[in-house]
Chain A
Amino acid sequence: MALPLPLGLTHSEVAFLAEMELVTVVPRQRLESIDLLSGKTPPLRPPHRTDLPLWLALLLKKQRRANIVPPPWMHPASLADIVHRETKVHPQAFSEPMPTASRARQSEPGYAGRIGGSGDNNSGEVILSPPFQSNCTSAAPAGYLPYHWLEVAEALVTHASDDLGGNTSEIRGLLRDLVEVRAAKMRDSAETLGAEGQGGVVSLRGVGAMELAENRGFVLGVVDGVRKIGGAVETARREREEEMDLGGGEGGRGGYGGDGDSDDDMGI
């Protein structure tokens, strides 16, 4: 009972974690390396670009000691392309997440292989995933939304708008469009849960951290409700199946017995 927070990460926790994402800065002043818990930051030497955690980049930005290079996916053309895909190409699904360093091969299920990178080398190089993989630096690919897309984009639009090449209002508008169209998809996903024969599974592939924080309670509530409504029907169906398939499966519980027992059960 001690933890009063809802299940999963809250908005402020997600925002805090997002500040660990690396972004690219162009320093305007020299700054020696800082020894942080997470490791040493690279020394800053104008005008050489360097990758820093977002929180530090924002701090330096506010102190006018660095400029932030927006990640390529935040460019208006990239965002417009994603909006187009979300609305016209795949109006039912969320757009593909940013490719990670390793990803299961579609052709060989269960076998993970590297995408991009230098192919099949065994150089012992560590394969990174976010937040240690750079999804928000200037080296990230365009046309994909990373896991922390909304948090990073909002932070840059708000605190580094002069680094966005005069596109701030356009970017802001495109971000709003994305938020709206994806929220509508999340809502509709509830309805697909009710369709018979769909297995009741909604694909959340490509959904960002902030979107998950916002919808976790609602989506889990819908899943739980559908499960409870289907529970009685499901038990009956399973019992019929078990009668046919003698000896197979686990012991089913009677439709009544399952719930009625809880009346006696004072367990927590």
Chain B
Amino acid sequence: MPMYGDQGNKLVQHAKRMQNLAHLPPYQTELVRAVTREVRDLDKDVASLLEPFQGSFDPSADQSTACTLLVNHLSMRRNKRCLLAYHRTRTDKLEELVWNGSDVLDLAGQQAGGGANGATAAADSGASSSSLSPQEEDYVRQYGDLLAAYKGQWTDIDLTGSLEPPRDLFIDVRVLKDAGEIQTEYGAINLTKNSQFYVRQGDVERLIAQGYLQKLG
């Protein structure tokens, strides 16, 4: 027998699983809708329970109604907590992806595109092919802008750079994808695919993170 709060619990279980994943699984549109619907239904129940009392309900005079009201209230409060926690877990993840420099919006599209009926779904509508909700896509875009503006205040330090203490100032790298010409303290380097360079780590950290270069040895 399904109970109030069961749907919300499913949502939180999704959130729990998400914590150990590297990517973001699809937004649970249906479940979220079901939980919010449940809250609305509960609210309607409360209103109809209270209607006969005309605003002068005395809990001690009608204990069983008081208990029902309490159960309804607790169920709504529980659902609210589940909804908020689910969305909070997702936005935490999204922020993490933005900080890591992955192109979240691009990534989301690719994942959905690779799915079973990805090709047709993607062709149908852009919105349904993403694993993000439209609100989340908006959030990522604005959060990315915010982070870029924040980072822009410092030109000589990369806030999203590697947190590993450097072992060597210079490293060997192999170019995996053409990355064009970069300027370094020692002149310009043209990064063409499959070439190898001995470069200052600080100059290419970003390109390594983005997958253009591979660190050797």
The interface of chain A, by Cβ under 8 A from chain B, is: 1-5, 12-13, 15-16, 263, 266
Question: B72-86 vs A: 1/0 string, CB under 8 Å?
Answer: 000001000100100
A1 and B95 contacting across the interface, CB-CB below 8 Å: yes
Find chain B residues with CB under 8 A from A4 CB: 96, 99, 163
Tell me the dominant secondary structure on chain A's binding face. loop
A266–B77 Cα gap in the complex (Å)? Answer: 12
- In the complex, the chain A residue whose C-beta lies closest to that of B160 is A2
Find chain A residues with CB under 8 A from B163 CB: 3-5
Q: Lowest 10 CB-CB distances: which A-B pairs, in order?
A: A16-B165, A12-B165, A12-B164, A1-B95, A2-B99, A13-B165, A1-B92, A5-B163, A1-B96, A4-B96
Find chain B residues with CB under 8 A from A263 CB: 77, 81
Find chain A residues with CB under 8 A from B77 CB: 263
B99 and A15 contacting across the interface, CB-CB below 8 Å: no
B19 to chain A, nearest CB (A): 13
A103 to chain B, nearest CB (A): 30
Out of A1, A2, A12, A266, name the residue touching B84 (CB < 8 Å). Answer: A266
- B interface residues, tally (CB under 8 Å): 11
> In the complex, given contacts A1-B96, A13-B165, what are 4 additional A-B residue pairs having Cβ atoms less than 8 angstroms apart?
A2-B159, A4-B96, A4-B99, A4-B163
Find chain A residues with CB under 8 A from B96 CB: 1, 4
Interface residues of B in 42-86 (CB under 8 A from A): 77, 81, 84
B92 and A15 contacting across the interface, CB-CB below 8 Å: no
B81 and A15 contacting across the interface, CB-CB below 8 Å: no
Find chain B residues with CB under 8 A from A2 CB: 99, 159
B92 to chain A, nearest CB (A): 6
A242–B95 Cα gap in the complex (Å)? Answer: 46
B196 to chain A, nearest CB (A): 22
B118 to chain A, nearest CB (A): 31
Interface residues of B in 122-171 (CB under 8 A from A): 159, 163-165
A16–B96 Cα gap in the complex (Å)? Answer: 26
Find chain A residues with CB under 8 A from B99 CB: 1-2, 4
A15 and B165 contacting across the interface, CB-CB below 8 Å: yes
A55 to chain B, nearest CB (A): 10
Find chain B residues with CB under 8 A from A15 CB: 165
A12–B163 Cα gap in the complex (Å)? Answer: 10
A85–B164 Cα gap in the complex (Å)? Answer: 36
